[in-house]
Structure 1
């Protein structure tokens, strides 16, 4: 009897801090606003609290359910997984709601000057399922770290940061287009040819929307709609940060009308930019490599003026395609920074805010690293990409957002 009593006290001591946190974040209100419903059995609130808590009890929900702490969960393992694959709740909205409650607590602590430096951050990471055979929408996805295609999904995440704190706002699982001609040339068969796709869904439901996003909508389109949704929910930011995979003129032109500045790294590819002279007129149309070679002419004079040796130089350009007029392009400030891994090479960071100094642009861009750390933490400690191996897309998308909720 004393052993059971001792265990009960330990369980209660574990739950008390979490219960206080859930109350502070108004979790019940967040759940209700996300449209979750349940007819019988444990309440929706208990099931979601149990799902969140399981990630801190053990490695994942499966281990937590089969451990000695399993009685802390409101239902058995199979019931918990069935709840996670339900289609009557919006996990992305729940993640956004909880993150906003955390955001409000952080916002009250910051000064007006710090509030003017808030940033949205975007990045994606591959969730690999090498043994998948029947996973819905599981496709061959190119992993840039491995340099090859793997079975899995591209997990797009949006985050918010003030430079110190970081909040993940949600996750979207995206699939490759395996029916395209370019795909058929490089792959003999689909990643999961036995997968059964769910059809006949009401287009107004969240289940239908996440499948449409995964298959039909492009990443730039999702980025724009996600920013609008976050701002509508009460998030404020002045900058949007992303790496070179997102930094294209068309996306920049769609973000700037929202009142946001964009800072991101540029690919050193074939794209060309119009160099501006002292009067602000376009003079030459060059690639980044060509711009760097041109600027080396007076490099000795610049080095004497530079305080930070890592920053080589900066120029103002207009980003426009060859078919566009210069007036139709978008002005960018390009900062050339020495590559710390190879001093003979450089990286280029662009900013749509021309008033920022070179050092400020680099400092703001360094905040983007927080989303990389977030991905690593979610994968290693919070179950992202490993907690569920369900064949149902609803379940996988729910667990991807559950890891964001835990990180908030």
Structure 2
């Protein structure tokens, strides 16, 4: 008689958010497709699952491995070999898993008329205390207006207005060698995907933006519009997205003195254009809108765009300008679609505040940074899908703590069941009681427990 079944891979899997997600998302299959395969030792799926669950257990890698409290835990060398492999295509892994979940789990939940968009934005990836990280550079943090050590994390994601999922990213170093604290590791095999990612990291962000777009198929994801802020809103970028990728653009504009728009046969900067337009009276939120020329595309056709001027709610006498290449949309619809871009800001906040982005490991290799960031993004995907499927509205932060609580409850009940199992074994040896007598004693004991504890223990015993 045994209350707890013998320890093996199947019986030890906790029925938690993370275990269900890893099985449903076919993580093992997509790891294999991305060339993340076992050459020796432990399987990549086991190592991925081990790292993936650390944050929900409130642990870091070093203390977990040093404590020795986890049976069959991998060695530190195995973990770092897994993270540092330059032949592993982590971008393909992230794109395929996100695309699979979008097509199978999210698209069936929304109507065909709902706008689905791609969102592009960057955020700081801080490594302020580091000195020897590969391609570490001096980057500007726009939120604090300060410079720091780290990278710019350029991220492309998908949203239907209810759920945001990351598709691809690149950790950008500076394109100027004088701003880089460390250079590229010359020992990396130039035939590997890791070397290509390093070369991509020292390109300009507008070039890397198109590398990310090359990895996804917007039409399979039912996305027809790309959103980004004013940092990428250059005419050459907008025209290339429209002509080469056949995506409409909705973006914020900034007043640049070298960028001109054609209106009534004359060229104006954004500030000059605003002055010549007729404004709505009163406290209207939409001040004006106009169709202007953006120049000729590579195919020789004129590119027409609509610019909408809206009142800045933080500064009543100032204005903001939003551009769209889709002339069929109303002004209100353009503003509503651009509002979806806020979801990527929430994504950055959750990954940094809850999921330990750039804080969990002190890796020096660019490959390890890419691998760990991918695992953090997959953690976010799990929380985002759980939030979408929950009947009652919960924030991603609440779901994160629910995952942590669930794992803690599982560990507690397993410990109690282990004590009971040892107690029953001792009774059978010392007092020579039969299995039926011990089972009767345990059943009586269980009946006296509080209802909440009884149900939890019974579920774990059955599992």
Q: TM-score range by the shorter chain?
A: 0.7 to 0.9
Task: Please give the residue correspondences for 1:312-327 in structure 2 after superposition, counting only pairs within 5 Å.
Answer: 312-320=287-295
**1:347 Cα offset (Å):** 0.7
Offset, 1:78: 4.5
**Residues 272 and 172 of structure 1: CA distance in aligned 2, closer, same or farther (over 3 Å):** closer
Specify the alignment match of 2:329 in structure 1. 356
Normalising by the residue count of structure 1, what TM-score does the alignment of the two structures yield? 0.83
CA separation in 1, counterparts of 2:83 and 2:249? 36
Q: Is 1:255 paired with 2:255?
A: no
Q: Does 1:29 align with 2:16?
A: no
8 Å CA contact 1:60, 1:382 repeated in 2: no
Q: CA deviation at 1:98?
A: 1.6
Paired with 2:267 and 2:337, the residues of 1 have a C-alpha distance of 28
Contact 2:218 2:224 in 1 (8 A): no
Q: Which residue of 1 aligns with 2:227?
A: 241
2:107 is matched with which residue?
107
Higher relative contact order, chain-length normalized (CA < 8 Å, sep 6+): 1
Is the 1:123–1:156 contact (alpha carbons within 8 Å) kept by the matching residues of 2?
A: yes
1:315-394 correspondence to structure 2 within 5 Å: 315-320=290-295, 329-394=302-367
The more displaced of 267-276 and 383-392 is: 267-276
1:177 matched to which residue of 2?
A: 175
Alignment-derived partner of residue 443 in structure 2 = none
More strand per residue: 1
Label 1:101 to 1:72 Cα distance change in 2 as closer, same or farther (>3 A).
farther
Matched, 1:285 2:258: no
Residue of 213, 219, 232 corresponding to 1:227 = 213
Matched position secondary structure for 2:316: strand
The residue that corresponds to 2:286 in the other structure is: 311
Hey, what does 1:20 align to over in structure 2?
20
For structure 1, the 5+ residue unaligned runs are: 184-189, 277-281
- Using the TM superposition, give the Cα deviation of residue 170 of structure 1 relative to its aligned residue in structure 2, in angstroms: 2.6
Indicate the residue corresponding to 2:409 in structure 1. none
User: Is 1:49 matched with 2:49?
Assistant: yes
CA displacement 1:230-268 (0-9 Å, x = unmatched): 108943311000000011111111111222100000012
- TM-score scaled by length of structure 2: 0.74
Rounded Cα–Cα distance in structure 1 between residues aligned with 2:58 and 2:66: 10
Alignment RMSD (CA, Å): 2.9
8 Å CA contact 1:46, 1:74 repeated in 2: no
**SS class of match (2:217):** helix
Aligned-residue offset at 1:203: 2.9
Deviation at 1:370, TM superposition (A): 0.4
Q: Which has the larger radius of gyration?
A: 2
Measure the CA separation in 2 of the matches of 1:213 and 1:167.
23
**Separation in 1 of the partners of 2:116 and 2:291?**
24
Deviation at 1:157, TM superposition (A): 0.7
Q: Distance in 2 between matches of 1:138 and 1:197?
A: 9
Mapped to 2, the partners of 1:367 and 1:255 lie a distance apart of: 19
Would you say the 8 A contact 2:31–2:37 is kept in 1? no
Tell whether the 8 Å contact from 2:86 to 2:195 is kept in structure 1 after alignment: no
* Aligned 8 A contact 1:85 1:394 in 2: yes
Task: State the distance in 2 between where 1:174 and 1:20 align.
Answer: 33
Shift of the alpha carbon at 1:227?
Answer: 1.8
2:89–2:193 CA contact under 8 A, matched in 1:
yes
- Corresponding residue for residue 187 of structure 1: none
- Classify 1:17/1:134 alpha carbon distance in 2 versus 1 (closer, same or farther; 3 Å): closer
Is the contact between residue 119 and residue 237 of structure 1 (CA under 8 Å) also seen in structure 2?
yes
